A and B are shown apart, each in its own frame.
Chain A
Amino acid sequence: MKPLPLALTALLAAASPVAAAEHLVVLSGSEFEPGRLTARVGDTIRFRNDDVVDHTVFIPTVGHGVDLGVTKSGQSTILTLRAPGRVEVECVQHGHMLMVVQIEVLP
Protein backbone atom coordinates (compact mmCIF):
# COMPACT_ATOMS: atom_id res chain seq x y z
CA MET A 1 0.00 0.00 0.00
CA LYS A 2 1.29 3.44 -0.88
CA PRO A 3 1.45 5.92 2.00
CA LEU A 4 -1.02 8.78 1.73
CA PRO A 5 0.32 12.19 0.79
CA LEU A 6 1.61 13.78 3.96
CA ALA A 7 -0.64 16.83 3.83
CA LEU A 8 -3.63 14.51 3.59
CA THR A 9 -2.33 12.43 6.46
CA ALA A 10 -2.03 15.50 8.64
CA LEU A 11 -5.47 16.69 7.60
CA LEU A 12 -7.06 13.35 8.42
CA ALA A 13 -5.31 13.22 11.77
CA ALA A 14 -6.43 16.76 12.57
CA ALA A 15 -10.00 16.17 11.41
CA SER A 16 -10.27 12.98 13.42
CA PRO A 17 -13.05 13.10 16.02
CA VAL A 18 -11.30 10.32 17.95
CA ALA A 19 -8.76 11.48 20.50
CA ALA A 20 -5.26 10.06 20.31
CA ALA A 21 -4.92 6.85 22.30
CA GLU A 22 -2.12 5.67 24.53
CA HIS A 23 -1.26 2.00 24.07
CA LEU A 24 0.53 0.08 26.78
CA VAL A 25 3.33 -2.32 25.86
CA VAL A 26 4.95 -4.18 28.74
CA LEU A 27 8.57 -5.30 28.58
CA SER A 28 8.48 -8.53 30.52
CA GLY A 29 10.62 -11.66 30.40
CA SER A 30 12.61 -9.82 27.71
CA GLU A 31 9.64 -9.81 25.35
CA PHE A 32 7.33 -7.08 24.09
CA GLU A 33 3.78 -7.73 25.31
CA PRO A 34 1.78 -7.55 23.05
CA GLY A 35 4.12 -8.33 20.18
CA ARG A 36 1.72 -6.87 17.62
CA LEU A 37 -0.27 -3.69 17.72
CA THR A 38 -2.41 -1.65 15.37
CA ALA A 39 -2.49 2.05 16.15
CA ARG A 40 -3.15 5.37 14.51
CA VAL A 41 -1.05 8.35 13.59
CA GLY A 42 -1.00 10.62 16.64
CA ASP A 43 -1.30 7.77 19.13
CA THR A 44 1.42 7.07 21.66
CA ILE A 45 2.85 3.85 23.01
CA ARG A 46 3.95 3.61 26.60
CA PHE A 47 6.70 1.00 26.97
CA ARG A 48 6.80 -0.08 30.60
CA ASN A 49 9.79 -2.10 31.77
CA ASP A 50 8.54 -4.71 34.26
CA ASP A 51 11.83 -6.63 34.11
CA VAL A 52 14.81 -6.25 36.42
CA VAL A 53 17.16 -5.73 33.45
CA ASP A 54 17.42 -2.63 31.25
CA HIS A 55 15.83 -2.49 27.81
CA THR A 56 16.20 0.06 25.01
CA VAL A 57 13.37 0.74 22.56
CA PHE A 58 14.90 1.05 19.11
CA ILE A 59 13.25 1.29 15.67
CA PRO A 60 15.47 0.61 12.64
CA THR A 61 12.64 0.87 10.06
CA VAL A 62 13.55 3.51 7.45
CA GLY A 63 11.42 6.63 7.79
CA HIS A 64 10.64 5.84 11.43
CA GLY A 65 14.14 5.35 12.87
CA VAL A 66 14.46 6.28 16.51
CA ASP A 67 16.29 5.15 19.64
CA LEU A 68 14.60 6.17 22.90
CA GLY A 69 17.58 5.34 25.10
CA VAL A 70 17.62 3.00 28.07
CA THR A 71 14.36 2.29 29.89
CA LYS A 72 15.44 1.11 33.31
CA SER A 73 13.64 -1.47 35.40
CA GLY A 74 10.36 -0.03 36.68
CA GLN A 75 10.44 2.93 34.29
CA SER A 76 8.42 3.85 31.20
CA THR A 77 9.25 5.48 27.86
CA ILE A 78 6.74 7.10 25.51
CA LEU A 79 6.86 6.81 21.73
CA THR A 80 4.69 9.11 19.59
CA LEU A 81 3.55 7.61 16.27
CA ARG A 82 3.92 10.39 13.71
CA ALA A 83 3.63 8.65 10.34
CA PRO A 84 1.77 5.67 8.91
CA GLY A 85 3.53 2.43 8.08
CA ARG A 86 4.63 -0.97 9.32
CA VAL A 87 7.25 -0.41 11.95
CA GLU A 88 9.49 -2.91 13.70
CA VAL A 89 10.44 -2.23 17.29
CA GLU A 90 13.58 -3.84 18.70
CA CYS A 91 15.68 -3.70 21.85
CA VAL A 92 19.34 -2.69 21.69
CA GLN A 93 20.48 -5.07 24.43
CA HIS A 94 18.45 -8.09 23.35
CA GLY A 95 18.68 -9.01 19.68
CA HIS A 96 15.74 -11.42 19.85
CA MET A 97 13.19 -8.87 21.12
CA LEU A 98 10.83 -7.76 18.37
CA MET A 99 7.41 -6.23 18.00
CA VAL A 100 5.49 -4.97 14.97
CA VAL A 101 3.32 -1.87 14.99
CA GLN A 102 0.95 -1.23 12.13
CA ILE A 103 0.34 2.52 12.10
CA GLU A 104 -2.73 3.63 10.17
CA VAL A 105 -4.49 6.87 9.38
CA LEU A 106 -8.19 7.08 10.08
CA PRO A 107 -10.34 6.03 7.10
Chain B
Amino acid sequence: MITGTRCRAGLMMAVALMAAPALAGPDLVEFPKDYQTQFIVYNTIERPDRTPNQIRFMYVNPAAHRAASASRPAPSGTVLVMEDRAAKLGADGQPERDAAGRMVPTDRVLAIAVMEKRTGWGAGYNAERRNGEWEYAGFAPDGTRRTTTEAQTASCFACHQSRATRDWTFTYVKFLQDSGR
Protein backbone atom coordinates (compact mmCIF):
# COMPACT_ATOMS: atom_id res chain seq x y z
CA MET B 1 0.00 0.00 0.00
CA ILE B 2 2.67 2.47 1.08
CA THR B 3 4.88 1.41 -1.77
CA GLY B 4 2.00 1.95 -4.17
CA THR B 5 1.35 5.44 -2.87
CA ARG B 6 5.01 6.34 -3.12
CA CYS B 7 5.17 4.89 -6.55
CA ARG B 8 2.19 6.97 -7.63
CA ALA B 9 3.58 10.11 -6.03
CA GLY B 10 6.86 9.54 -7.80
CA LEU B 11 5.11 9.05 -11.07
CA MET B 12 3.06 12.20 -10.58
CA MET B 13 6.23 14.15 -9.89
CA ALA B 14 7.81 12.77 -13.04
CA VAL B 15 4.75 13.79 -15.02
CA ALA B 16 4.81 17.26 -13.47
CA LEU B 17 8.48 17.63 -14.32
CA MET B 18 7.88 16.82 -17.94
CA ALA B 19 6.48 19.45 -20.25
CA ALA B 20 2.77 20.32 -19.99
CA PRO B 21 0.78 17.24 -18.98
CA ALA B 22 -1.55 16.00 -21.69
CA LEU B 23 -4.96 17.40 -20.79
CA ALA B 24 -6.97 14.61 -22.33
CA GLY B 25 -8.56 11.31 -21.42
CA PRO B 26 -11.74 10.07 -19.76
CA ASP B 27 -10.11 10.07 -16.30
CA LEU B 28 -10.31 13.87 -16.23
CA VAL B 29 -14.08 13.56 -15.80
CA GLU B 30 -15.09 12.93 -12.20
CA PHE B 31 -18.35 11.11 -11.54
CA PRO B 32 -20.83 13.89 -10.64
CA LYS B 33 -22.26 11.91 -7.72
CA ASP B 34 -24.87 14.48 -6.62
CA TYR B 35 -26.29 15.14 -10.08
CA GLN B 36 -29.75 13.74 -9.26
CA THR B 37 -30.31 16.23 -6.45
CA GLN B 38 -28.11 19.15 -7.57
CA PHE B 39 -28.42 19.32 -11.37
CA ILE B 40 -31.24 20.60 -13.58
CA VAL B 41 -33.12 18.29 -15.98
CA TYR B 42 -33.51 20.25 -19.22
CA ASN B 43 -34.83 17.56 -21.58
CA THR B 44 -35.75 13.89 -21.92
CA ILE B 45 -35.23 11.73 -24.99
CA GLU B 46 -37.10 8.47 -25.45
CA ARG B 47 -35.33 5.45 -26.92
CA PRO B 48 -38.09 3.08 -28.07
CA ASP B 49 -35.50 1.30 -30.27
CA ARG B 50 -33.59 -0.01 -27.26
CA THR B 51 -34.19 -3.15 -25.22
CA PRO B 52 -35.29 -2.47 -22.57
CA ASN B 53 -37.06 0.69 -23.75
CA GLN B 54 -35.48 3.68 -22.10
CA ILE B 55 -35.83 7.34 -21.34
CA ARG B 56 -32.70 9.46 -21.28
CA PHE B 57 -32.69 12.27 -18.73
CA MET B 58 -30.46 15.21 -19.64
CA TYR B 59 -28.97 17.19 -16.76
CA VAL B 60 -26.78 20.29 -16.55
CA ASN B 61 -25.00 21.71 -13.50
CA PRO B 62 -26.77 24.88 -12.27
CA ALA B 63 -23.72 27.16 -12.03
CA ALA B 64 -22.83 26.62 -15.69
CA HIS B 65 -26.47 26.76 -16.76
CA ARG B 66 -26.97 30.16 -15.13
CA ALA B 67 -24.08 31.56 -17.17
CA ALA B 68 -25.06 29.88 -20.45
CA SER B 69 -26.85 31.34 -23.45
CA ALA B 70 -27.28 30.15 -27.04
CA SER B 71 -24.48 32.42 -28.25
CA ARG B 72 -22.18 31.51 -25.32
CA PRO B 73 -23.41 28.00 -24.65
CA ALA B 74 -21.23 26.13 -22.23
CA PRO B 75 -18.74 27.95 -20.03
CA SER B 76 -15.70 26.17 -18.59
CA GLY B 77 -16.99 23.90 -15.84
CA THR B 78 -20.10 22.78 -17.71
CA VAL B 79 -21.10 19.21 -16.87
CA LEU B 80 -23.78 17.47 -18.94
CA VAL B 81 -25.12 14.17 -17.64
CA MET B 82 -27.20 11.73 -19.65
CA GLU B 83 -28.92 9.21 -17.39
CA ASP B 84 -30.57 6.23 -19.09
CA ARG B 85 -33.61 4.97 -17.22
CA ALA B 86 -35.70 1.91 -17.99
CA ALA B 87 -39.24 2.70 -19.14
CA LYS B 88 -42.24 1.42 -17.23
CA LEU B 89 -43.95 -1.35 -19.18
CA GLY B 90 -47.66 -2.18 -19.20
CA ALA B 91 -49.19 -5.66 -19.01
CA ASP B 92 -48.90 -5.87 -22.81
CA GLY B 93 -45.15 -5.36 -22.62
CA GLN B 94 -45.42 -1.97 -24.29
CA PRO B 95 -44.15 1.19 -22.57
CA GLU B 96 -46.76 2.99 -20.48
CA ARG B 97 -47.48 6.56 -21.53
CA ASP B 98 -48.63 9.58 -19.54
CA ALA B 99 -51.38 12.04 -20.53
CA ALA B 100 -48.92 13.92 -22.74
CA GLY B 101 -48.04 10.74 -24.60
CA ARG B 102 -44.60 10.44 -23.03
CA MET B 103 -43.05 7.20 -21.80
CA VAL B 104 -43.14 6.80 -18.04
CA PRO B 105 -39.72 6.24 -16.45
CA THR B 106 -38.88 3.83 -13.64
CA ASP B 107 -36.18 4.58 -11.06
CA ARG B 108 -33.93 1.95 -12.62
CA VAL B 109 -30.81 3.64 -14.00
CA LEU B 110 -29.09 1.65 -16.73
CA ALA B 111 -26.12 3.84 -17.60
CA ILE B 112 -24.70 7.32 -17.13
CA ALA B 113 -22.77 9.29 -19.75
CA VAL B 114 -21.02 12.52 -18.92
CA MET B 115 -19.45 15.25 -20.99
CA GLU B 116 -17.52 17.99 -19.25
CA LYS B 117 -15.79 21.08 -20.54
CA ARG B 118 -12.81 22.84 -18.94
CA THR B 119 -10.36 25.41 -20.21
CA GLY B 120 -7.39 23.65 -21.76
CA TRP B 121 -8.98 20.21 -21.98
CA GLY B 122 -8.68 18.40 -25.27
CA ALA B 123 -5.27 19.92 -25.93
CA GLY B 124 -3.74 16.45 -25.94
CA TYR B 125 -5.85 15.30 -28.89
CA ASN B 126 -5.13 15.75 -32.58
CA ALA B 127 -7.44 18.06 -34.52
CA GLU B 128 -9.33 15.15 -36.02
CA ARG B 129 -10.46 13.75 -32.68
CA ARG B 130 -10.74 16.89 -30.63
CA ASN B 131 -14.18 18.34 -29.77
CA GLY B 132 -13.14 21.75 -28.49
CA GLU B 133 -12.50 21.49 -24.76
CA TRP B 134 -15.00 18.67 -24.13
CA GLU B 135 -14.07 15.41 -22.48
CA TYR B 136 -16.30 12.31 -22.28
CA ALA B 137 -16.76 9.45 -19.83
CA GLY B 138 -19.18 6.60 -19.27
CA PHE B 139 -20.20 5.28 -15.84
CA ALA B 140 -22.20 2.40 -14.40
CA PRO B 141 -25.18 3.42 -12.22
CA ASP B 142 -23.04 3.03 -9.06
CA GLY B 143 -20.46 5.45 -10.44
CA THR B 144 -17.91 2.84 -11.53
CA ARG B 145 -16.03 3.91 -14.64
CA ARG B 146 -17.01 2.16 -17.83
CA THR B 147 -14.50 4.09 -19.91
CA THR B 148 -10.91 3.99 -18.72
CA THR B 149 -8.97 4.40 -21.96
CA GLU B 150 -8.99 6.97 -24.74
CA ALA B 151 -9.87 4.18 -27.19
CA GLN B 152 -13.11 3.60 -25.30
CA THR B 153 -14.25 7.20 -25.75
CA ALA B 154 -13.21 7.55 -29.41
CA SER B 155 -16.79 6.86 -30.55
CA CYS B 156 -18.17 9.56 -28.22
CA PHE B 157 -15.98 12.18 -29.91
CA ALA B 158 -16.68 10.86 -33.41
CA CYS B 159 -20.45 10.81 -33.12
CA HIS B 160 -20.79 14.17 -31.32
CA GLN B 161 -18.65 15.67 -34.10
CA SER B 162 -21.77 16.04 -36.25
CA ARG B 163 -22.99 18.74 -33.84
CA ALA B 164 -19.77 20.82 -33.86
CA THR B 165 -21.83 23.92 -34.68
CA ARG B 166 -23.88 23.34 -31.51
CA ASP B 167 -20.82 23.08 -29.29
CA TRP B 168 -20.77 19.31 -29.90
CA THR B 169 -24.03 18.75 -28.03
CA PHE B 170 -27.14 17.06 -29.42
CA THR B 171 -29.61 18.50 -26.92
CA TYR B 172 -28.11 21.19 -24.69
CA VAL B 173 -27.41 24.07 -27.09
CA LYS B 174 -30.59 23.21 -28.98
CA PHE B 175 -32.42 23.64 -25.67
CA LEU B 176 -30.82 27.05 -25.12
CA GLN B 177 -31.72 28.12 -28.65
CA ASP B 178 -35.32 26.89 -28.42
CA SER B 179 -35.91 28.50 -25.04
CA GLY B 180 -34.67 31.82 -26.42
CA ARG B 181 -31.67 32.15 -24.12
Contacts and interface: CB of A to CB of B under 8 A. Distances in A.
B162 A62 contact: no
B47 A67 contact: yes
A10 B99 contact: yes
B69 interface: no
Interface residues of B, number: 27
A65 B171 contact: yes
Contacts of A61: 178
Contact of B46 (A6, A65, A92): A65
Given A6-B99, A58-B170, A83-B101, A65 B162 contact: no
Interface residues of A, number: 19
B46 A67 contact: yes
Contacts of B46: 65-67
B173 to A, nearest CB: 10
Nearest to A95: B162
A22 B167 CA distance: 35
B4 to A, nearest CB: 43
Interface of B: 42-50, 56, 97, 99-102, 159, 162-166, 170-171, 174-175, 178-179
Given A60-B174, A95-B163, 13 more contacts: A6-B100, A58-B45, A60-B43, A60-B45, A60-B170, A63-B102, A65-B46, A67-B46, A68-B48, A83-B100, A92-B170, A93-B162, A95-B164
